[in-house]
């Protein structure tokens, strides 16, 4: 089963979904992984109904960080902002589907950090307390 998830991660890494940037983004933010300097930027377009109708990401980093960013964009596209905010660490780790050690956790959750810290404008105190960035 691990092989399936590894293949899926590599597929997202090699063929990232929603790759690029948005000219008409309503929200845009970039963060890096302090351990390695790798970056992820996410652009969103939120329409008048509070739905994320467009999303794009751009980044540089390991397969885990870039694949999880690609997966996250698929999870939030078409969702309302409130629904997207409910996507958390568990969903990302479930989508990756492989055992992630403490160091790789920062890779896996980098894109979620971009959303939570930047795009949603949440303060550090509002993040899940066990999301150890
Ligand atoms: Fe840099 Fe994974 S090694 S984000």
Ligand 1: centre distance to CA 31 (Å): 12
Find the mean pLDDT for residues 44-58: 95
For the chain, domain boundaries: 2-122
Report the alpha-carbon distance of residue 80 to residue 43 in Å, rounded: 15
Ligand 1: centre distance to CA 85 (Å): 23
Which regions of the chain does DSSP assign to beta strands (E)? 27-32, 39-46, 52-60
Q: Using a 6 Å cutoff on CB, does residue 42 contact ligand 1?
A: no
Q: CB atoms < 10 A from the CB of 65, how many?
A: 25
Q: Report whether pLDDT(117) > 50.
A: yes
The pTM for the full model equals 0.90
**Which residue has the CA at smallest separation from atom 3 of ligand 1?**
62
Best residue among 63, 106, 109, 111 to mutate for probing ligand 1, ranked by most atoms within 8 Å of CB: 106
What local confidence, expressed as pLDDT, does residue 126 receive? Answer: 52
Model confidence pLDDT, tens digit, residues 55-108: 999 999 999 999 999 999 999 999 998 899 889 999 999 999 999 998 899 999
Burial class (CB in 10 A: 0-12, 13-18, 19+), 104: middle
Model confidence pLDDT, tens digit, residues 14-28: 999 999 999 999 999
CATH, range 2-122: 3.90.1010.10
């Amino acid at each position: 089963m691990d092989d399936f998830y590894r293949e899926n991660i590599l597929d997202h890494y090699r063929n990232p979904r929603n790759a690029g940037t948005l000219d008409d983004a309503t929200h845009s933010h970039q963060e890096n992984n302090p351990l390695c300097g790798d970056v992820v930027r996410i652009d969103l377009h939120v329409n008048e109904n509070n739905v994320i109708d467009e999303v794009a990401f751009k980044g540089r980093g390991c397969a885990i960080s870039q694949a999880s960013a690609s997966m996250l964009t698929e999870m939030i596209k078409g969702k309302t902002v409130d629904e997207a905010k409910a996507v958390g660490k568990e969903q990302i780790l479930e989508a990756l589907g492989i055992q992630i050690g403490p160091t790789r956790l920062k890779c896996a959750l980098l894109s979620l950090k971009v959303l939570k810290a930047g795009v949603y404008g949440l303060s550090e105190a509002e993040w899940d307390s066990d999301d150890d960035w």
